Structure 1
Amino acid sequence: MTTRDALPGMAESYWMATAPGTAWPELETDATADVAVIGAGMAGLSTAWELAAAGRKVIVLEADRVAAGVTGHTTAKLTAAHSLVYERLRRTRGSEGARQYASTQQAAVERVASVAAELGIDCDFERASALTFTTAPDERAAFEAEADAAAEAGLDADFVTETDLPFPVAAAVRVRDQAQFHPRKYLLALANDLTARGGVIHERTRVTGLSEGSPCTVTTERGTTITAQDVVIATHYPVFDRALHFARLSPRRELVVAAPLPRSEAPDHMYITDDMGKRSVRTAPLDEGRRLLIVTGESFTPGTGDTSARFRRLDAWMHDHFPVGTTIYRWAAQDNDVSDGVPLVGPYHPGARHVYVATGFGGWGMSGGAMAGQLLASALTGAEFGGAGLYDPRRLWSTLREGPALLKQQAEVAQHFVGDRLKTTHVDSVAEIAPGSGGVVRVEGRRCAVYRDADGTAHAVSARCTHLGCLVAFNEAETAWECPCHGSRFGIDGEVLHGPALRPLPPRKI
């Protein structure tokens, strides 16, 4: 039995397992549109739908399948309560900045609610409070300040010490009237309505080129092109580097485990804490007498550490703290944090006139993606959107605001870019790699990423990420190669699983 086989649950997202697959065609011929949207997750589809509803001709290009990437592996909390964000915003952006953040995020929650009702989408939409908690008594003052800042920002927030968790907490900030839902059921219905409004979706169509102008030209890996007046890049991590967003974004991967528990024992609300390497808790409908407990945590940089051990630690925490049954599902989510803590949504770079971006949602992509759809649709149709300046990617970088985070982030990238190359090798020879495992090996002077499958066959590709050249590392729990610099992920034969990389890892002979 391999390490991977011994992990708890089935290696599949609950959202992917409980919603139908999709089969929109690839783009095979050149096309034109008012707007080309690159990426069909929460941000991309929300933007495309808002634009189609406003009468624009929209084409959506997705490298894989609709709502099957980051959005298909989220925790799916739909909330304006983003952990301890409002006291920090009050300090760095002032009370007005905090208020704009709260109002736009809460408006996004209500937008999903209203669209689901308008279209009659059965997406397990449920209202619940969102609570950020700590078990550390010395953190009480910080949580009292956060509750005050969130309330001042306009949310229905208060400070509490009692929750319906099955263990005590020292302090918590509660924000009422938030929501949780099934993201794929919602987005697949949104995609169907988008096409009914004249929008077009192309799956398995990876974009590799962009020429800015009036109009813009988007090129795919098959050589087909789309000519559009405007382009929206909503690929989670931007697939083009011309705006240098990689200097402001740091990738973060988190693990998820899910198990059934009796409905009578299930928490009624959503919870998150930064304690214990982060723990996020919510439930979803399962059957008549049970709900599915979904626990997220073990935050880490892709390509670092033992993912299998993290899965086991998270699963043990869930079983220690809740009366759950056998773990059913396990999966992982990936997010990008912006150095100043606010998503980048708006014009792609200072010179951009027709290209827009949505990225850096910091783990809150459900409300953030819906907000991005409203903001970008407003920008492209000439409507007003209060708070657009808060999210503008062209905002000036403040040394005091972003300096420490930028330096820390770039130091970590440099450590991997340079430090990993100073290692003589990750393993000494291909023969050392056990079936079901992978390792980086120097072969004839070149580092190769080698995976040995269950029957002993070795699959070798270049170990250099095709984004900016960092060395990849093997994630045994998910059978993937990961770049620790900017979060690109690759399959065992080198295919791109997650950007910003656009090209696969080239094969190597060993």
Structure 2
Amino acid sequence: MADHRTLPGTDESYWMDTTPVTTYPSLTADVEVDVVVIGGGIAGLCTAWELTEAGRSVALLEADRIVAGVTGYTTAKLSVLHTLIYDKVRTSFGAESARLYAESQQAAVERVAEIASRLNIDCELERVPAFTYVESPDGLDRIRAEADAAAAAGLPASFVTETGLPFPVAGAVRVENQAQFHPRRYLLALADDLTRRGGRIFERTRATGLDEGHPCTVTTEGGHTVTARQVVVATHYPVFDRALMFARLEPRRELVVAAAIAADRDPGGVYLTPEQNTRSVRTAPYRDGQRLLIVTGEHFTPGAGEATEQWQKLIDWTRERFPGTQIAYRWATQDNTSTDQVPFIGRFHPGTENVYVATGFGGWGMSTGVLAGRLLAARITGTEPPWSGLYDPLRLNPVREAGTMLKLGAKVAAHFVGDRVRPSHVDSIDDIEPGTGAVVRVRGRQCAAYRDDTGQIHAVSARCTHLGCIVQFNDAETAWECPCHGSRFGIDGSVVQGPANRPLEMEDVAGG
């Protein structure tokens, strides 16, 4: 079995490695604003910025550092071509909905270009075509259908058989005038402008409670409160479960590798194929006139277990398709897909008028995060974008969603029950090798135990603090992950990624 410690490349996102760490203060006193935004990724920051520009007073709360979670580990394709979405939307919702999806997503691409120009943001924005391709002729019918649906939706889309990739494809959808950019450079500049306009950003401030009164009150881990007329929950996976969205969202994790290539080897676009457990390709400006090739794929459910073998598959594919590449970076990203594959952006649940949510971006968080900011700001300030109904979280079509919801429910139930009785691959703490982790029963309790390279054991409760599923160890990222809803924890039990907002309890395994 491959050892994650021998995988090549710096274990960090290129976006994180090439931008400064932020140092916004934590919330240390109660505050009152018009709107409080929970979550400092692209959706939260764009929403806060749009509201501030509209004249609202805004406080943004981030549990860690802004643009350092999912958004800091994206591949940053700014595209309206979301794999095979247009044929699905046309089939499920109708041709007008497909047109609105295209219009809203393209408006988001143009919004980034507009703001980057207006604020003079050097975010390496490049306009390129986007492609969804297949190598096998078996997939051509889907590609042709998508090209037809995307063109009918108003996009400059066409079916092609030639691309800039260094290997042949059977066919591809090509959409012109899309983009790629450096997401942290863009969003950190947006955050600077937000604070110049009077907006307030509080880092290391985890929201733990929400009272939907008039006004609303958000309580933080430190015991302080933010009072606001409206609340936006933009935490990737909602940290409050009152809308029962956990039954309508499926988390997915993907791996990323990056390598320097000569500029003349740039394939000249952003590419994705649903084949081979997904492969996505784009480039970015790099040092010494080179380009940084960024390849994504090998998606899996968080908590599925060891990821090292999947890292190796992605590395091997990159080296095979782009010979001579040396992996410089590797990281992982995560997103959630809704049961009908259209994001949820709007009122959080039927009983609220003042709490909004943005989630379920399906791996396309760049354009959809910008779209969410515009849509939510418009709704809060009293206007109704023409596409708001398409993204309304209150929509529910049993015919479209029932099958996926049943599968999600069955999977969660299987983990909730089965993982409590399923034996571990080790029998005791003593069997855990250095650099590895396992769930072990100690005095009748399931403990998540990790042994570091010095031999020291770090043990925490194996029960996720979200809804109680049993976490599993991700060997390649040295993290505990919940297979039910995607919460992630450090080896010390600290929350790395929600929806959980409380750490795993420490366990005393001495003598176990």
Instruction: Provide TM-score, normalisation by structure 2.
Output: 0.98
Are 1:2 and 1:436, in contact at CA under 8 Å, matched by a contact in 2? no
Corresponding position of 1:266: 266
Corresponding position of 1:58: 58
One-letter amino acid matched to 2:40: A
Corresponding position of 1:479: 478
Cα deviation, 1:363-404, whole Å, max 9, x if unaligned, reads 000000000000000001012311100000011x22210111
Corresponding position of 1:489: 488
In structure 1, runs of 5+ residues without a counterpart are none
Give the 3-state SS of the residue equivalent to 2:237 in structure 1.
coil
Are 2:318 and 2:325, in contact at CA under 8 Å, matched by a contact in 1? no
Corresponding position of 2:468: 469
Are 1:8 and 1:312, in contact at CA under 8 Å, matched by a contact in 2? no
Quote how far apart the aligned CAs of 1:421 are: 1.2
Aligned mates of 1:151, 1:318 — CA distance in 2: 31
One-letter amino acid matched to 1:172: A
Cα deviation, 1:328-382, whole Å, max 9, x if unaligned, reads 1000000001001100000000111110000000000000000000000000101
1:450 aligns with 2:463: no
Corresponding position of 1:140: 140
Give the 3-state SS of the residue equivalent to 1:403 in structure 2.
helix
Corresponding position of 1:507: 506
Are 2:2 and 2:309, in contact at CA under 8 Å, matched by a contact in 1? no
Aligned mates of 2:18, 2:217 — CA distance in 1: 37
Corresponding position of 1:436: 435
Quote how far apart the aligned CAs of 1:289 are: 2.8
Q: How does 1:52-131 map to 2 (within 5 A)?
A: 52-131=52-131
Q: How does 1:111-510 map to 2 (within 5 A)?
A: 111-395=111-395, 397-510=396-509
Give the 3-state SS of the residue equivalent to 1:421 in structure 2.
helix
Aligned mates of 1:409, 1:18 — CA distance in 2: 38
Quote how far apart the aligned CAs of 1:325 are: 2.8
Give the 3-state SS of the residue equivalent to 1:236 in structure 2.
coil
Give the 3-state SS of the residue equivalent to 1:258 in structure 2.
strand
In structure 2, runs of 5+ residues without a counterpart are none
Are 1:425 and 1:440, in contact at CA under 8 Å, matched by a contact in 2? yes
Quote how far apart the aligned CAs of 1:183 are: 0.4
Give the 3-state SS of the residue equivalent to 2:336 in structure 1.
strand
Quote how far apart the aligned CAs of 1:4 are: 2.4
Are 2:305 and 2:475, in contact at CA under 8 Å, matched by a contact in 1? no
Aligned mates of 2:169, 2:421 — CA distance in 1: 45
Aligned mates of 2:222, 2:187 — CA distance in 1: 27
Cα deviation, 1:414-467, whole Å, max 9, x if unaligned, reads 111111112133420001101111000000000000011111000100000000
Quote how far apart the aligned CAs of 1:287 are: 2.1
Aligned mates of 1:487, 1:141 — CA distance in 2: 33
Aligned mates of 2:266, 2:423 — CA distance in 1: 51
Instruction: Provide TM-score, normalisation by structure 1.
Output: 0.99
Are 2:306 and 2:473, in contact at CA under 8 Å, matched by a contact in 1? no
Aligned mates of 2:139, 2:451 — CA distance in 1: 47
Give the 3-state SS of the residue equivalent to 1:55 in structure 2.
coil
Cα deviation, 1:294-347, whole Å, max 9, x if unaligned, reads 000001000114201111110110000013431110000000010011000000
Aligned mates of 1:425, 1:317 — CA distance in 2: 32
Give the 3-state SS of the residue equivalent to 1:129 in structure 2.
strand
Aligned mates of 2:155, 2:310 — CA distance in 1: 34
Aligned mates of 1:451, 1:422 — CA distance in 2: 20
Q: How does 1:26-65 map to 2 (within 5 A)?
A: 26-65=26-65
Distance change >3 Å, CA 253–CA 245, structure 1 → 2: same
One-letter amino acid matched to 1:428: D
One-letter amino acid matched to 2:380: L
- Which of structure 1's runs of 4+ aligned residues deviate more than 3 A? none
Are 2:446 and 2:462, in contact at CA under 8 Å, matched by a contact in 1? yes
One-letter amino acid matched to 2:282: R
Aligned mates of 1:107, 1:77 — CA distance in 2: 15
Are 1:260 and 1:324, in contact at CA under 8 Å, matched by a contact in 2? no
Are 1:108 and 1:367, in contact at CA under 8 Å, matched by a contact in 2? yes
Aligned mates of 1:175, 1:83 — CA distance in 2: 11
Are 2:303 and 2:474, in contact at CA under 8 Å, matched by a contact in 1? yes
Are 2:49 and 2:191, in contact at CA under 8 Å, matched by a contact in 1? yes
Aligned mates of 1:424, 1:281 — CA distance in 2: 39
Give the 3-state SS of the residue equivalent to 1:277 in structure 2.
coil
Quote how far apart the aligned CAs of 1:241 are: 0.3
One-letter amino acid matched to 1:444: R
One-letter amino acid matched to 1:321: R
Are 1:259 and 1:324, in contact at CA under 8 Å, matched by a contact in 2? no
Aligned mates of 1:115, 1:352 — CA distance in 2: 32
Aligned mates of 2:325, 2:342 — CA distance in 1: 38
One-letter amino acid matched to 1:141: D
Aligned mates of 2:424, 2:254 — CA distance in 1: 27
> How many residues are matched?
509
Aligned mates of 1:288, 1:452 — CA distance in 2: 41
Identical aligned pairs, as a percentage?
61
Cα deviation, 1:8-52, whole Å, max 9, x if unaligned, reads 211000000011110000000000100000001000000000000
Are 1:261 and 1:323, in contact at CA under 8 Å, matched by a contact in 2? no
Give the 3-state SS of the residue equivalent to 2:372 in structure 1.
helix
Aligned mates of 1:190, 1:494 — CA distance in 2: 32
Quote how far apart the aligned CAs of 1:143 are: 1.0
Aligned mates of 1:424, 1:137 — CA distance in 2: 43
Aligned mates of 2:198, 2:275 — CA distance in 1: 47
Aligned mates of 1:374, 1:445 — CA distance in 2: 51
- Name whichever of 438-447 and 421-430 sits farther off: 421-430
Are 1:257 and 1:329, in contact at CA under 8 Å, matched by a contact in 2? yes
Aligned mates of 1:419, 1:180 — CA distance in 2: 43
Cα deviation, 1:88-147, whole Å, max 9, x if unaligned, reads 111111000000000000000000110010000000000000100001112212211110
